[in-house]
Amino acid sequence: MLNQAAIEHLTAADPRLGALIAAGREIHPRPHEDLYLALLRAIVSQQISTKAAAAIWKRFQSLFPPEGYPEPREVLALTEDELRAVGLSRQKAGYLKAIAEYNERGLLDYDHLTGLSEEAFTQHLTAIRGVGRWTAQMLQMFALDQPDVFSEGDLGVQNAMRRLYGLEETGRALQKRMLAIAEAWRPYRTLACKYLWQSLDNGTQIPPTAE
């Protein structure tokens, strides 16, 4: 019932957000994922459509019969041409190898990473070539299901908050305003972000007078 406690907290702390949550579909907690695998998928998905990412991921998995799991040593053994043949760019091929090498060194240990603060986790992952702050935050939110992550740089979160709160700022000023609003959501900022994303998908809008 963690989500129920989180929803009650968010609704009490921010009635406008509470109205958005009430108008949406329930979001259930999800099991933690394989962090290494989630990181590979995040890189494959960067800057391309969901459909294209799914197709390339399927072809990538076909390189690892019979189960399709990209063991780090097997990824490292592949040539750039083999990776590019499944639809990966030269740059992404290099990033996947960097992730595999990081995992081989024991630097993607689940128990260790889940104990890190948001900032320490981000610093640890962004040491991998090709992994940026946004990717690290998405992994915390979705692969690890950590409860209090806020991605002020995410375009979807920005658009949803602009619409919900009538924000007119741009750039750094917008992100600063978003961070100030989200302070009241602690320690459940991840769930708040998920409802904000959902509101874009289902077109939920809350009238200006909603409380």
Separation CA 145–CA 6 (nearest Å): 13
HEC secondary structure over the chain: CHHHHHHHHHHHHCHHHHHHHHHCCCCCCCCCCCHHHHHHHHHHHCCCCHHHHHHHHHHHHCCCCCCCCCCHHHHHHCCHHHHHCCCCCHHHHHHHHHHHHHHHCCCCCHHHHHCCCHHHHHHHHCCCCCCCHHHHHHHHHHHCCCCCCCCCCCHHHHHHHHHHHCCCCCHHHHHHHHHHHHHHHCCCHHHHHHHHHHHHHHCCCCCCCCC
Measured distance between the N- and C-terminal CA atoms of the chain, rounded to whole angstroms:
25
Pick from 81, 128, 137: nearest CA to 102: 128
Residues carrying an active site annotation: 154
Neighbours of 169 (CB within 10 A): 13
